[in-house]
């Protein structure tokens, strides 16, 4: 099911980021983009810090959006949101019918994640979801590589989408802008990625 | 002091919009843009519904921002925010040193505003601030005209900035995006301007 498909320059892409962990509820922000070019809409929802509701909340946020019919790809910033709230990208793809790309700036430290999950009563379940996200692939970039996981989309199409949208930095615009909005709204002023 | 100045394509512009009037406190959102092209930062602050703190809050939001040194123009969506919280654009210009452009999609109905202000004990003060914003000028657009007021900037420079930034709609990108963010965050999904 990881098919490659044709990419129009104005393909609608939803980038999702979370905000700082200030409270029990963590805001997530979605930025709907046309290609890497311009923002078409903003979505907002809430997940529980260290909870397990991220997959369902993101599914609902997408499915009730007026942009649902148009969105062709969802881009996530890693698969853990709001602490260790793990997104099941296979389920997100199955429930929404929209292919999912996970973007990471560095190869995840699985040993560290596994150690942290020991403190969760349902650590095993979270670890299963993490493994289900599939293999991690390295995508060479102009300055630095990025690492991806994917559901419902071929690696050649992922490369094209990343090339189309990473025009202002080495991360796709929908994610960069979702991050600016999430940090700006919660902290009063946006912060760049470390 | 309403001077014309040279506009670089990447001129930093701050667009400010407010959110829906759901509570006593109303969120205002600033979008820092490079020209009409891409978003560089997001600012957030709060004003009082029907209060008189908008000028001071906006001044402080700008002056404490890391973008303060770079911002060359502030664009406002009318001069009343959060109900009848009137922005004193002359004071905003004087306090920040940054020229201010007010953009309106239609000529304001001053009779209606004056009637509404009768219900405010300090209605006279608000009316004085409104008058101080100066004359309203009509700027022809490709589809429809817009109306502007200005402080610290010549009309020819205003025209250039509006032409540079109104590339996705008939309103400048920094305002369009500030509006998408403010409505998206407060309502869960952004809404276009009526």
CA distance B39 to chain A (A): 7
Q: Report the gap between the CA of B113 and the closest CA in chain A (Å).
A: 31
A141 pLDDT higher than 90? no
Interface test with A, best of B30, B185, B187, B193 (most A CBs within 10 A): B185
Q: What was the pLDDT predicted at A23?
A: 87
Strands (E), A19-107: 25-34, 38-48, 71-77, 80-81, 85-86, 100-104
Place of tokens 């148009």: A70
The token pair that represents B73 in the structure block: 């123009």
What confidence score (pLDDT) does residue B194 get?
Answer: 45
Strand duo A71-77 + A100-104: pairing: parallel
Q: What are the pLDDT digits (tens) for A73-110?
A: 999 999 999 999 999 999 999 999 999 999 999 999 99
Tokens of A184: 């700006």
pLDDT at B193: 66
Alpha helices in chain B (DSSP H): 54-63, 89-96, 110-117, 123-132, 155-165, 173-187
Instruction: For residue range A147-161, list pLDDT tens digits in order.
Output: 999 999 999 999 999
Q: Is the ipTM of this complex over 0.85?
A: yes
Structure tokens of A74? 């969802």
Å between A178 CA and nearest CA of chain B: 10
Residue B41 to residue A168, Cβ atoms within 8 A: no
What gap in Å lies between CA A110 and CA A116, rounded to an integer?
10
Per-residue pLDDT of chain B (194 residues; tens, 9 = 90+): 678 888 999 999 999 999 988 889 999 999 999 998 899 999 999 999 999 999 999 999 999 999 999 999 999 999 999 999 999 999 999 999 999 999 999 999 999 999 999 999 999 999 999 999 999 999 998 888 999 999 999 999 999 999 999 988 889 999 999 999 999 999 999 987 64
Which 3 state secondary structure label does DSSP give A113?
helix
Least trusted range by pLDDT, from A10-14, A22-26, B31-35: A22-26
Highest CATH level, class, for B12-185: alpha beta
Provide the number of CB pairs (under 8 Å) joining chain A to chain B. 69
**Statement: residue A51 has pLDDT above 80:** yes
> What pLDDT score does A36 carry?
87
Q: Is the pLDDT of residue A41 over 60?
A: yes
* pLDDT at site A194: 45
Provide the β-strand partners of residue B188. Answer: none
- A66 or A20: whose pLDDT is higher? A66
Which residues make Cβ contacts (< 8 Å) with residue B15, sequence separation at least 6? Answer: B30, B31, B33, B74, B75, B77, B172, B173, B174, B175, B176, B177, B178
Strands A146-151, A137-139: pairing is antiparallel
How many other CB atoms sit within 10 Å of the CB of residue B163?
A: 15
Q: What is the pLDDT of residue B132?
A: 95
- Choosing among 3.30.2170.10, 3.30.420.480, 3.40.640.10, 3.20.20.70, the CATH entry for A12-187 is 3.30.2170.10
């Amino acid at each position: 099911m990881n098919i490659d498909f044709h990419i129009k320059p104005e393909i609608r892409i939803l980038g999702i980021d979370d905000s700082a962990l200030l409270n029990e509820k963590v805001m997530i922000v979605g930025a709907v983009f046309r290609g890497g070019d311009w923002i078409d809409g903003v979505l907002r929802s809430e997940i529980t810090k260290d909870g397990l509701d991220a997959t369902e909340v993101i599914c609902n946020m997408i499915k009730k959006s007026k942009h649902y019919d148009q969105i062709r790809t969802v881009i996530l910033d890693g698969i853990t949101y709001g602490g260790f709230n793990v997104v099941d990208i296979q389920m997100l793809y199955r429930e929404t019918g929209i292919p999912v790309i996970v973007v990471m700036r560095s190869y995840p430290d699985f040993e560290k994640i596994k150690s942290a999950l020991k403190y969760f009563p349902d650590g095993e379940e979270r670890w299963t979801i993490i493994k289900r996200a599939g293999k991690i692939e390295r995508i060479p970039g102009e300055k630095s590589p990025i690492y991806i996981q994917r559901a419902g989309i071929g690696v050649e199409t992922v490369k094209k989408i990343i090339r189309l949208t990473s025009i202002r930095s080495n991360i796709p615009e929908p994610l960069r802008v979702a991050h600016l909005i999430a940090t700006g709204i919660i902290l009063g002023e946006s912060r760049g990625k470390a």
